[in-house]
Structure 1
Amino acid sequence: MRKNKIMEFFSILGSSLMMPIAALAACGIILGISGALLKDQVVSAVPLLQTPVVFYVLDTLKTVSGVVFTLIPVLFAISISLGMAKEDKGIAAFAGFIGYYTFLVSASTMVNSGFVNFDLLRVSPILGVETIDMGAIAGILTGIIVAFLHNKYHKVQFPVAIAFYGGKRFVAIVVILVMGLLGQVAPFVWQPISAGITTLGTAIGNAGALGVFLYGFLERLLIPTGLHHVLNGIFRTTAVGGVYEGVEGSLNIFLQFFDRLDSETLRPFTQFLGQGKMPFMMFGLPAGALAIYQSSPSDKKNRVKALMIAGVAASIISGITEPLEFSFMFIAPALFLFHAFMGGVSFLLMSLLGVVIGNTGGGLIDYIVWGVLQPGSRWYMVLVVGPIYAITYYFVFKKYMAAKNLSIDVADDDEENTPIESNDNQDDSLGLLIIEGLGGKNNIKVINNCISRLRVDIGDMTLIHEDLLKKSGSMGIIKPSDTHIQVVYGPKIEKIADIVRKALN
């Protein structure tokens, strides 16, 4: 039971981190395009870029999109408070910002008090406050604490004389008190932890090829649990992913310095980013999908074909792989283990071959923006490794599926039920179908979604109807605990989630 609760906690935490990560990825594309066009080599080759108006527009886009990456901690504080709150999520998000700012100011008073020597701590101006710089960890810690306080106290009632301060209003009060106290303690606790994290990051960096392989292997292996978001967040935003001129995290470093540093200096940080995913996202998994299609019985081929085409498009273009991965991970776990191993090898090969392609995704968009358009990225090495991955995946998938006589199960009426570009009546029917599959309205406690999954807290797992969820277009179902279920829908999840929420009201 305790294990289930721990898994459920990290699952919800991982999904909450996806909101700012998605925003960072979108801003990263704008930053990448504008930054690439402003590079000296490109400006010299394209005279139009030298005109004042064009240069001003590009420089403004680059500056504005770059600012977002300095706000990662506060974005984490708000998004985790919002994502982990069970009710009144807007109040929780508001409290998340209050809590983070209170923490900064409180820590600042202690650091600058002169009572203790904090010279070993990194102090930076954050949101206008000269305070302890804990990076993304401060935001994550704030979000978790605020969500806990919000869930515990947002319905508290006081006597009539002070009733005004109860309920939602009391959340802000208790958050200020707790985060103010934490800010006083944080400098003492963080000084040795900061040294330890820096040492760990240095150790992983010094581990070279082995460290990169293990990261890539675990990043894929954790997909079924959703905990890969947590692993990615640690490497992308903390010292574990590297430190350069005081900036922590592989993604932070890349996006703040990509237009100022040469590719060789950036390479140790991009080895934990999108480049490691490109061989299997753009080549390996699509080839595996072809093998799955060809291994399907003739009466299933058309339905499997439609599913595989949708999954391949998502994997190649946007780097969303769950639709394909969930199609085989349960019927062929050995293939998923092979896929995770190849993920580690992919990260390793991109690093050894000197590829320098950053950002968070591994699809065609990131490949073009951060690879093809960036001088010195060695983007062509992806085209060398990619076909080898395609051949390897195809033959391994084809041979395994044939040897085990396996085929993915697609319901006969999937084709009628998976489209969601429909009218209001069809949307209502789909929403009610999903709710029925989740055991009915009374069985649904909290409903959220991440980039590809509907994440639902439920009352009774025995009331779940997996056949109905599959009929609604689900590509996979995960039960990390007895009270939490994740239903995979892929890139269309935002609309699915909106339809379900509407049907619940």
Structure 2
Amino acid sequence: MSTAGTAPAPTPWWQSFYGGLQKMGRSLQLPVAVLPAAGILNRLGQDDVFGKDGLGWDNVAKVFAAAGGALLDSNLGLPLLFCIGVAIGMAKKADGSTALAAVTGFLVYHNVLLAFPDRDQCTGTIVGNQCIDYSAHTSSAAVFQNPGVLGGILIGLMSAWLWMRYHRTKLVDWLGFFNGRRLVPMITAVAGLALACLGLWVWPPIGRAMTDFSQWLADLGAGGAGIFGVANRALLLIGMHQLINTFVWFQFGEFHKPGTDEVVHGDIPRFLAGDPTAGQFTSGFFPIMMFALPAAAMAIAHSAKPHRRKEIYGLMTSVALTSFVTGVTEPIEYSFAYIAPGLFVLHALLTGASMAVTWALGVHDGFSFSAGLIDYVINWGLATKPWLIMPIGLAFAVVYYALFRFVIVRFNLKTPGREDDDQVEDVTKA
């Protein structure tokens, strides 16, 4: 009798694809984690803090604004951050050479794009990176093809794949110095050049299609904000919400900063740069993250079995405070998402409602990291009607608490603290 083991069945392509998307979603969290620093630096550089309308320390304000602006720059800073983050997150056993390869590929790619300004967007003459109108004696920054953050993500993915494929490669002896990790940046540079040339050709129609879709959402006003809110929370359930955030938050729209040639793209960078029209795709998260989800956490605690209520109170109070202060909501959401998916459907729909209501009432607010108390306080001076977030949030808190408490008890959902006694040990270990 043969003792040879049976070969494992190949993984279905759709499972591999889904797993890859989830991994990329997690990889996008790394560059997003840098944004709080960018937001704080940018905020300190505003006129009403260290600038002319605040302490009057103009040069200090310039330092902070330049520092924050470097990280929020939609042409270089943000795409480079996402490029490095994705490369490190997607490559197995990544190290410093993975990041070096990503930076190498991105810089080559970026400079090739800069070599071909869009002449159709210039009414004068292109000189270097400037569009000069000699008859009007004016000049402005030339316009280039700008895949932005999405381009950085593509370079990051490409760098991760090339690193995994070639970081152990051995060349002939006389080229031994370029073995392995030293070879990858060289290959990535060539790949970055090729991707830039391809981007010059294929990006314009893709960019227009994505911009048109985002513009359609923006033109819907409160309805568009609501649709985005529902989609954002629905995709969180499978770990891919960052995929739809990327273009809308970091690339869609443009704002010309007063007194400069700088153009800022993306709902978040535009808000932080002082654009009074920004915040359509961020404002409505504040009532949910600061008020509604903490109320849902209390509903879960109050619904726990009496002998487990003290334990669940401690757990839910902790995650509620995390959501309120920082805007990190996953600990609450994952506590009921998979064991009570009906509650998560309600949560997604109510998030969309919050987005729609907040925007319809003229609230324009934004964040650098998430919609928690820290961003709410820091960005109060940049926001429009930020005070309305408190009554809106309290109203949603009442709705969340009442609905969650009713649904949990009425349908006997096994939320934390309500599990069968023989499952308690397994649940707490998880």
Taking structure 2 as the reference length, what is the TM-score of the superposition? 0.83
Residue 90 of structure 2 corresponds to: 84
Q: Contact 1:66 / 1:255 at 8 angstroms: preserved in 2? A: no
1:314 aligns with 2:322: yes
| Alignment partner of 1:336 out of 344, 357, 360 | 344
Q: What is the CA–CA distance in structure 2 between the aligned matches of 1:328 and 1:203, rounded to whole Å?
A: 33
1:230 aligns with 2:243: yes
1:64 aligns with 2:76: no
- CA deviation digits over 1:450-484, x for unaligned, max 9? xxxxxxxxxxxxxxxx977952xx5xxxxxxxxxx
Q: Contact 1:270 / 1:356 at 8 angstroms: preserved in 2? A: yes
Q: 1:60 to 1:243 in 2, by over 3 A?
A: closer
| Alignment partner of 1:155 out of 145, 168, 180 | 168
Q: What is the CA–CA distance in structure 2 between the aligned matches of 1:206 and 1:185, rounded to whole Å?
A: 31
The structure that is helix-richer by fraction is 1
Query: How far apart are 1:410 and its partner, in Å?
Result: 5.6
Query: How far apart are 1:72 and its partner, in Å?
Result: 0.4
Q: 1:105 to 1:280 in 2, by over 3 A?
A: closer
1:104 aligns with 2:104: no
Q: Contact 1:104 / 1:132 at 8 angstroms: preserved in 2? A: no
Q: Contact 1:107 / 1:187 at 8 angstroms: preserved in 2? A: yes
Q: 1:407 to 1:304 in 2, by over 3 A?
A: farther
Q: Contact 2:340 / 2:415 at 8 angstroms: preserved in 1? A: no
Q: Contact 1:105 / 1:129 at 8 angstroms: preserved in 2? A: no
1:164-243 to structure 2, matched below 5 A, reads 164-239=177-252, 242-243=253-254
1:55-454 to structure 2, matched below 5 A, reads 55-70=58-73, 71-109=77-115, 111=116, 119=120, 132-239=145-252, 242-245=253-256, 246-256=263-273, 258=274, 261=275, 263=276, 266=277, 269-273=278-282, 275-359=283-367, 360-371=369-380, 373-374=381-382, 377-409=384-416
Q: Contact 1:77 / 1:100 at 8 angstroms: preserved in 2? A: yes
Q: Contact 1:34 / 1:62 at 8 angstroms: preserved in 2? A: yes
Q: What is the CA–CA distance in structure 2 between the aligned matches of 1:410 and 1:393, rounded to whole Å?
A: 19
Q: What is the CA–CA distance in structure 1 between the aligned matches of 2:339 and 2:72, rounded to whole Å?
A: 40
SS at match of 1:225: coil
Q: Contact 1:33 / 1:369 at 8 angstroms: preserved in 2? A: no
Percent identical? 28
Letter in 1 for 2:49: L
Letter in 2 for 1:244: F
Letter in 2 for 1:188: W
Query: How far apart are 1:12 and its partner, in Å?
Result: 1.7
Query: How far apart are 1:173 and its partner, in Å?
Result: 1.9
Q: What is the CA–CA distance in structure 2 between the aligned matches of 1:132 and 1:222, rounded to whole Å?
A: 29
Q: What is the CA–CA distance in structure 2 between the aligned matches of 1:406 and 1:196, rounded to whole Å?
A: 43
- CA deviation digits over 1:126-177, x for unaligned, max 9? 9x99964322122111111111111111112233333332211221121122
Q: Contact 1:146 / 1:175 at 8 angstroms: preserved in 2? A: yes
SS at match of 1:272: coil
Query: How far apart are 1:119 and its partner, in Å?
Result: 3.0
- CA deviation digits over 1:190-242, x for unaligned, max 9? 22223323322322222222221110011111122221122211211123xx2
Q: 1:34 to 1:244 in 2, by over 3 A?
A: closer
Query: How far apart are 1:346 and its partner, in Å?
Result: 0.8
Structure 2 unmatched ranges of 5 or more: 1-11, 131-140, 257-262
Q: Contact 1:77 / 1:140 at 8 angstroms: preserved in 2? A: yes
Q: What is the CA–CA distance in structure 1 between the aligned matches of 2:129 and 2:83, rounded to whole Å?
A: 18
Q: What is the CA–CA distance in structure 2 between the aligned matches of 1:129 and 1:349, rounded to whole Å?
A: 39
Taking structure 1 as the reference length, what is the TM-score of the superposition? 0.71
Query: How far apart are 1:339 and its partner, in Å?
Result: 0.6
SS at match of 1:320: coil
SS at match of 1:156: coil
Higher mean alpha-carbon deviation, 181-190 vs 228-237, is at 181-190
Q: Contact 2:150 / 2:246 at 8 angstroms: preserved in 1? A: no
Query: How far apart are 1:327 and its partner, in Å?
Result: 1.3
Q: Which runs of 4+ in 1 moved over 4 A?
A: 123-126, 128-131, 466-470
Q: Contact 1:411 / 1:470 at 8 angstroms: preserved in 2? A: no
Q: 1:143 to 1:196 in 2, by over 3 A?
A: same
Letter in 2 for 1:170: L
Higher mean alpha-carbon deviation, 73-82 vs 152-161, is at 152-161
Structure 1 unmatched ranges of 5 or more: 44-48, 413-465, 475-505
Letter in 1 for 2:20: F
Q: What is the CA–CA distance in structure 2 between the aligned matches of 1:149 and 1:385, rounded to whole Å?
A: 49
Letter in 2 for 1:180: L
SS at match of 1:222: helix
SS at match of 1:338: helix
Q: What is the CA–CA distance in structure 1 between the aligned matches of 2:27 and 2:17, rounded to whole Å?
A: 15
Q: Contact 1:295 / 1:407 at 8 angstroms: preserved in 2? A: no
Q: What is the CA–CA distance in structure 2 between the aligned matches of 1:152 and 1:26, rounded to whole Å?
A: 34
- CA deviation digits over 1:228-278, x for unaligned, max 9? 122211211123xx233453311122223x1xx5x3xx2xx20112x2111
Query: How far apart are 1:299 and its partner, in Å?
Result: 1.1
Q: 1:39 to 1:347 in 2, by over 3 A?
A: farther
